[in-house]
Amino acid sequence: MHRARKRFGQNFLHDEGIIYSIVSLINPDTDMHVIEIGPGLGALTRPLLRNLDQLDLLEIDRDLVAYWNQQKLKGLKVIEGDALNFDFLEWAKDCSDKKGLCKVVGNLPYNISSPLLFHLVSAAQAIDEQVFMLQAEVVERMVAKAGSSDFSRLSVMLQTRYDMELVLEVPPEAFDPQPKVNSAVVRMIPRKDFNLNLAQWGALEKVVAAAFSQRRKMLRTNLQVFLERLKLSEIELKSRAQDISVDRYIEWARVLAS
């Protein structure tokens, strides 16, 4: 019997209806190349494997890695490792040789969700879709639109790189042990029109971090060091970070990197 480990964010899904819905959203088929982050005891893994020829698992917990290695299931490749250090771009290179879609999926450990989402950005060019269960509050911030109180640094950075949709809300009762928070499933599809180079992405990180550094302050204060180059309108100078659109942040990043 595996005892859930808090330090690895282990809350195992057991609600069959929710499991069915998530697997349907991932929509596995035999040509698809999928990696599941954190299979745990296999709530998603087993139904996914029924419809895939090949499934890769990335798991940090040695006991669970041993468990999956013992199963000797056809088509399963078990990788022991920390998703925060894993080279998803290298993994995805394999996909370009195949005809199916390349997907990263998982019911993610909530304690590492933001750094993991940023880590995955570096592989977005090679990935077709990501389907993740996360803390509902995080998903709400990811998909929030400018003007909403949830609109944040996470919203701007991830909406620059992905089209995203909250596709399913999941209550704590769906898990064992139950988390203290609500959860939600998000679908993330890398934007086809993304064309920032590394310098522009770096400039976006800087300007967005500065803008949101003090949420209540006007941009006149938060963006002081950039004002000479950005030429904000009078209205923008008096605005707060959450009132500026993603497209406008992208324009500013292009100016700062030029």
Binding site for ligand SAM (CB under 6 A): 8-13, 37-40, 43-44, 58-61, 64, 82-84, 107, 109, 112
Report the residue number, 82 or 90, with the smaller CB distance to ligand SAM.
82
Report the residue number, 43 or 184, with the smaller CB distance to ligand SAM.
43
**Mapping DSSP to helix (H, G, I), strand (E, B) and coil, where does residue 247 land?**
helix
Give, in order, the Cα–Cα distances in Å from 10 to each of 38, 81, 112, 149. 9, 16, 12, 30
Q: How far is the CB of 196 from ligand SAM (least distance, A)?
A: 27
Report the residue number, 112 or 223, with the smaller CB distance to ligand SAM.
112
Report the residue number, 109 or 190, with the smaller CB distance to ligand SAM.
109
Residue 183's H or E segment, with its range, is: strand 183-190
Helices (H), 123-194: 136-143, 153-161
Q: How far is the CB of 163 from ligand SAM (least distance, A)?
A: 24
Cα 147–chain centre separation: 22
Contact call for residues 45 and 36 (beta carbons, < 8 A): yes
Q: How far is the CB of 102 from ligand SAM (least distance, A)?
A: 18
Report the residue number, 6 or 229, with the smaller CB distance to ligand SAM.
6
Closest CA to 143 of 181, 189, 112: 189
Q: How far is the CB of 57 from ligand SAM (least distance, A)?
A: 9
Q: How far is the CB of 182 from ligand SAM (least distance, A)?
A: 14
